[in-house]
Chains A and B, each alone.
Chain A
Amino acid sequence: MATRKTTTGTPRGASSGTTGSARTADVRDAVIVGGNRIPFSRAGKRYADASNQEMFTAALEGLVARFGLQGERLGEVVGGAVLKHSRDFNLVREAVLGSSLSAQTPAFDLQQACATGLEATINVANKIRLGQIDSGVAGGTDTISDAPVAVSEGLRRALLAASHATTLQGRLKALARLRPVDLKPLTPATDEPRTGLSMGEHQAITTARWGITRDAQDEVALASHQNLARAWDSGFFDDLVTPFRGLTRDDNLRPDTSLEKLASLKPVFGKSLASSEATAGPTMTAGNSTPLTDGASTVLLASTEWAEAHDLPVLARFVDAETAAVDFVHGHEGLLMAPVHAVPRLLARNGMTLADFDFLEIHEAFASTVLTTLAAWEDADYCKNELGLPGAFGSVDRARVNVNGSSLAAGHPFAATGGRIVATAAKLVAQRAAETGETARALVSVCAAGGLGATAIIESV
C-alpha cells in the first residue's frame, strides 16, 4: 500500500500539491473519481411514484455505466435517506443488489439528516485512507413524494398489543382500545422534535438575529439559479448527471427568474417574529428557501492505486472533514449554524485559512444560511465569544461561493445533496487546476437538522 507521510501546518504552496492534512501519519489518499446523480425534481412531479430504492439504484447504475464498473466488487457502498420506510432497512444494500455491481459489494445505510451524503463520503474516504477498502461509493437519496406515512401512536400500540396477544379475546381487547382519532395517519414532518419549530422558523430567528435583509437573500437565490443554469448550458453536468424517467435537468431550476419575480413572493417563515430594525419584517420566501425535492446522488471514491489500476480518472483528493453540533435547544445558537463552528476547527487542523480556498460550496438550505454563515465568520465578537477564536475568522469573496449554483436552484433531496456538492466541488477543483497548473481547493459546508453540520476539504490532485 502506498502511503504518504503527511505534514500539518504547511503553508499553502510550500509543497507541490501534496499539502497534507491528516493528523495520522501513514494514511494514504482517498481520491474522488467522479460522481453521478439523477436530475432533482420538485416533490410530486416527475418522480412522484419513484421510490428511494429506484432512485438510488438509477443513480448507482449511471455511475457504474460511466466508469465501467459492471460486475466490479467495490469495497463498500454507503448512503442513506432521511425520510425512510421501515421496509427500507437495508436500502443501500438492496440498491446494490439491483445494480450491475457485483452482488459481493457490501453496503450499509447511515443517516445524518441533510448531512447524510457528506457523512457517507467521509466514511468511505476514511476507510480508503486507512486501507480497509480500495474503492467505494458514497451517496444518498430522498423522496418527499414517496415518503413513509406512519400510523398514530394509539393505533401502533394497539396493533402491537394485538399481535402479541395469544388469544382471540386478547386480540379483540387490544383493538377495542382504539379511538377514531387513532386512525388519522401521521405524515412525515421535518419539524425539530425538541422545539416543535420547523427548520424555516428556526432559520428565520437566525436570519433576524444577523440582520440579513430580504434583498440580500433574493440576490443569493437569483445567483443560484443563474449559476446553475450556466453550468447546465456549458455542459458541466454532462458527466455528473444521468437522466431519469425522462427528466434531463433539475426541474426546480428557473433560468429566467429575476429579482423582481423573487421580490414579489410573500414571506413564508418568520411571520410571527417581531421585526428587527435591519430586516423590517419577515424576509424568507419560497424563492429564497429550498423547495421539497426528490432525487439521488452518488460519488465514486478510491485509492489512487485502485483508480490507476482501473484506468479511471481522478478529479480530486478528499482531504479532511469535520462535523459539529450546536445547542439550539437550551443555548442561543441558531439551528443551522453548526458548520460555522466546524470550519475553523477543520482549517486550523490543516493549517489553512479561508483564503486558501478557490471555491466554497455552502449548502443553500436557505439563502440566509449562506449569508449568516459568512456574516458570523466576519464578526469579531461572535468569533471570540462563540468560536473561541482570537478575532474574526475571515471573509470570503462572494464570487467563490456556489459558483455553479446550489440547493436553491437545484433543489434539496435531503440525503442526496452531499453527493451533489462533493462531485461538483471535485470537478471544479480539477478544472481550475487544469487551467492554472496549481493546486485548487474547495471547502464544503452542509448544515443539518438537529443542530448538526458537516464540512470537508477537497483538493485537486
Chain B
Amino acid sequence: MTDSYTRLVNTGLTKTLATRLGLPRPAVLRRHRPGEPLTVGPVLVVSDAASKTDADALAQTLLGWGTDVRREPSDDARWGAVVLVVTEAARPTDVSDAVLAVGSVLRRLAPHGRVVTVSRAVAEGDSPELAATRAGVDGFLRSLAKELRAGATGNGIVLTGGAAADSTSALATLRFFLSARSAFVDGQLLPVGPAPAGADEAPVDDDRPLAGRVAVVTGAARGIGVAIAKTLARDGASVVCVDVPAAGEGLARTANAVGGTALQLDVTADDAGARILEHARSRHGRLDLVVHNAGILRDKLLANMTPEQWDAVTAVNLAAQLRINAQLLDAGVEGLRIVSLASIAGIAGNRGQTNYGFSKAGVIGHTRATAPLVARLGGTANAVAPGFVETEMTRRIPAVTREMGRRASSLQQGGLPVDVAEAVAFLASPAAAGVNGEVLRVCGQSWLGR
C-alpha cells in the first residue's frame, strides 16, 4: 500500500540516513508465502520446572513441523522464536528462571522472530498465588512485545477449561503465532479452550486447512473483503462473495480471482441469511463459514449526527450480522464458523465515530453471546478487531491523523488487508475449534485500548 515512510527508511540512501539519525524504522514485515519455513530460525522452548512435560510435548510437535528445536539457550543461534511454557507454574517465583532465559536470547532474536507464551487462564477457585502467577503472564507478555524490534512479535496462548498444551487448537494457535501469517498480530493473549468432542480434528494439509469448506464473505468487492476472499481460497475454501448490487463490478473481479461465485445482495435485506444459505447450499453443496466483513462509516460528531448516519451504520455493521446469524442458527447449520469484523474503534473508541464504535463494540458483544449458541452445533463465533489497516477507507483519513494512526503501535506501521485475512482464516480453520467467543486484535500492538 502507500506507507511511503516505511518504504523510505528501509531502502537505499534514506535507510542509511534514517539509521544515522536514529529515526524509528518500522520493519517491512515478513508475510506468509506457501512453501517457506515456519520460522526464520531455530526455536527455543523454555519452561519452569513444573511445566517441563508440556514443554517437551510442544518441542516434540515443533520437531514434527520440521523446525530446528532447542531446549537450552546458546549464543550460536540466530533465534527464530522463543516459546515460554509456564502452564504448571504455581507461584510467581516459579517462572523467574524461565523468563530470564528468554531475556538472555532476545538480543539474538532474528528479525521477524517470535516470542510465544503458553500459560493457563486464571480460573475460579485458584489460590491467590496461582492467580497471581497466571495473571502475571499477561502483563509480562504485553510489556515484552513492546521491547521487540525488527518485525518481531510477542503473543500468548492462554489455555482455558483444562485444555492440554498440545491439544489441536493450542497447537494450531502456536503455529499461527509462530508463522508469518500473524505478521501484524502483536501483544495479544488468545484464550484457547478444549475443542468440543468430534470437532478436534487436525487439518490434513497445513497449507490448505480449508479444503472442501464453503465460505461466505460479505463486503467482498473491495478492501479487506477482497483479501479475506483470496486468503480463504488460498487455504482451500470455495468462496461465495457477497456485496451490494451497486458494488457488483468489484465483486465480480473478486469472485473471478478466487474462482468463487458472486452474490449481489444487500446484507440488510430481511432474508439475507436465508438467501446466503440457499446460494451456498444449492451452488456449493454446503455452508461452513460466514465472515461478516461488510461495514460502512458515517463519521460525525454526535452533536452533528443525523438519524440516517446513525441508523445506516447500525443497520449494516450490526443488525445485519445479528439477523443473518439468527437465520443460520435457526437453520441449524452444523459446525458453522462465524468470524465478524470488529474494530479497535469498538474497543478504544474514536472521536467522530460514536455510531461506528457502537456497532463494532456491539459486534464484540454479540460474538461472545453467539459463541455458546453456535457451540451447540459444533461451531464457533469469533471476532477480529483490526487496528490501523492500509485500505481505501484509511487512505481518506487526513494525513496527520493517518500518520499518527500508523506509528502509534509497537510495529510502528499500519497493517495490510491480508493481515486481517490471515487472522480470519486462522479462526475459520478446523483446528481452531477450541477458540470460541474471542476477539483477536490485528493491530501491531496499537497503543489504543488493551
Contacts and interface: CB of A to CB of B under 8 A. Distances in A.
A312 B283 contact: yes
A403 B88 CA distance: 73
Contact of B248 (A67, A243, A311, A313): A243
Interface stretch (B8-16, B59-67, B254-262, B313-321): B254-262
Contacts of B285: 311
A70 B262 contact: no
Interface in B173-221: none
A235 B263 CA distance: 13
B120 to A, nearest CB: 45
Contacts of A62: 248-249, 252, 262
Given A66-B262, A70-B259, A71-B259, A242 B282 contact: no
Among B248, B260, B265, which residue has the most Cβ atoms of chain A within 10 A? B248
A66 B261 contact: yes
B228 to A, nearest CB: 17
A241 interface: yes
Given A100-B256, A238-B245, A238-B265, A65 B251 contact: yes
B18 interface: no
Contact of A243 (B246, B256, B259, B282): B246
Interface string A98-112: 001000000000000
Interface in A278-329: 311-313
B345 to A, nearest CB: 29
A62 B241 CA distance: 12
A244 B253 CA distance: 11
Contacts of A311: 282-285
Contact of A313 (B255, B260, B262, B282): B282
A64 B261 CA distance: 8
Interface string A220-258: 000000000000000101110111111010000000000
B256 A64 contact: yes
B266 to A, nearest CB: 8
B283 A242 contact: no
Contact of B255 (A68, A71, A239, A243): A68
Nearest to A246: B249
B49 interface: no
B305 interface: no
A29 interface: no
Interface string B429-446: 000000000000000000
A108 B439 CA distance: 54
B247 interface: yes
A61 interface: yes
Among B253, B264, B283, B285, which residue has the most Cβ atoms of chain A within 10 A? B264
A65 B282 contact: no
Contacts of A248: 245-246, 248
Contacts of B249: 58, 62, 242-246
Among B251, B252, B261, B283, which residue has the most Cβ atoms of chain A within 10 A? B252
Contacts of A238: 245, 264-265
A242 B255 contact: no
Interface in A11-38: none
Nearest to A311: B283
Contact of A67 (B246, B251, B261): B261
A122 B362 CA distance: 54
A101 to B, nearest CB: 10
A62 B251 CA distance: 9
A58 B261 CA distance: 16
Nearest to B251: A65
Interface string A36-64: 00000000000000000000001001101
B276 to A, nearest CB: 14
A62 to B, nearest CB: 5
Nearest to A239: B264
B114 to A, nearest CB: 36
A313 B252 CA distance: 19
B247 A243 contact: yes
Contacts of B262: 62, 65-66, 242
A65 B261 contact: yes
Contacts of B245: 235, 237-238, 241, 243, 248
Given A239-B264, A311-B284, A313-B282, A70 B246 contact: no
A245 B253 CA distance: 13
A312 B279 CA distance: 10
A171 B116 CA distance: 81
Interface in A70-85: 70-71
Contacts of A243: 245-249
B250 to A, nearest CB: 9
Nearest to A101: B256
A248 B248 CA distance: 8
Contacts of B265: 238
Among A61, A68, A70, which residue has the most Cβ atoms of chain B within 10 A? A68
B252 A242 contact: yes
A40 B282 CA distance: 30
Nearest to A63: B252
Contact of A61 (B247, B252, B284): B252
A54 to B, nearest CB: 12
Contacts of A244: 249
A414 to B, nearest CB: 23
Contacts of A67: 261
Contacts of B256: 61, 64-65, 70, 100
Contacts of A61: 252-253, 256
A201 to B, nearest CB: 39
B260 A68 contact: yes
Contacts of B282: 311, 313
A238 B242 CA distance: 12
Nearest to A313: B282
Nearest to B246: A248
Contacts of B284: 311
A66 B256 CA distance: 9
Given A70-B255, A312-B283, 16 more contacts: A61-B256, A64-B252, A65-B251, A65-B252, A65-B255, A66-B252, A68-B259, A70-B259, A71-B259, A238-B245, A241-B245, A242-B248, A242-B252, A242-B264, A243-B248, A244-B249
Nearest 10 A/B pairs, CB to CB? A65-B252, A65-B255, A65-B262, A68-B261, A100-B256, A242-B248, A248-B246, A70-B259, A243-B249, A62-B252
22 contacts: A58-B249, A61-B252, A62-B252, A64-B252, A64-B256, A65-B253, A65-B255, A65-B256, A66-B261, A68-B260, A68-B261, A235-B245, A238-B265, A241-B245, A241-B248, A242-B252, A242-B264, A243-B245, A243-B247, A246-B249, A311-B284, A312-B283
